[in-house]
Amino acid sequence: MNEDSPKNVKLIDCPNCGTPIAKTARTCPKCGQEKPKQKASFEWVVYLLLIAIVWDNHFNNHGFFAPLISSLIGENSVTDLPAQKDNLNEQDIKKTIVTLREYQEVSTGMSYQEVARIIGTEGVELFRTTSGSLETVIYQWSNEGMGSMSATFNNDKLDSKGQYGLQ
């Protein structure tokens, strides 16, 4: 039997009318409804990567994930990234201060510049990727002792944020 025969086509239900349609179909042949774009898996990868980077940065001082991130984003390692952004060095990063109040003041939809203005300093760019027209950038603000904030921006709009140990 041919691999492309109708018996081998995986079907899903149209989210609008419930008609079974091919998983690869872009629209429902009955009602014309476009199938929702599947971006959840990409977002989960980005969020999980963010959590891993923040955890590694906070507890392992760029230990385990630095080589992995380096291979994913190019020749520079995670520890080299701060030097690329406004010539920050390790001492500058340790002086960065973010409070729980500032974290709570930041809200989704804000631009990177608005967030940096609230916090009072530029964040350290941890990750940047572009897929089609979507540019995703992850920044981190860390306190000298304990506590940090990370923010994910899609096309320069805050999409998600996370914090650990802020007071």
* CATH classification at residue 122: 3.30.1450.10
In a domain, 69, yes or no: yes
Q: Which residues contact 26 (CB under 8 A, 6 or more apart)?
A: 34, 35
Which domain does 92 fall in, by range? 40-164
Helices 65-73 & 40-60 angle (0-180, nearest 10) = 140
Which pLDDT score is estimated for 38? 58
What is the count of structural domains for the chain?
1
Q: Write b or e for each residue in 98-117: b if 16 or more Cβ atoms lie within 10 A of its Cβ, otherwise e.
A: bbeebbeebeeebebeebbe
Q: Is position 133 within any domain?
A: yes
What is the predicted pLDDT for the residue at 51? Answer: 74
Q: Which residues of the chain have pLDDT under 50?
A: 1-5, 61-62, 74-87, 92-93
| Any domain includes 32 | no
- Domain membership flag for residue 10: no
Is 35 part of a structural domain of the chain?
A: no
Q: What is the CA radius of gyration of the chain?
A: 21
Within a domain: residue 151?
yes
Q: How many Cβ atoms from other residues are within 10 Å of residue 19's Cβ?
A: 13
Closest CA to 73 of 112, 126, 124: 126
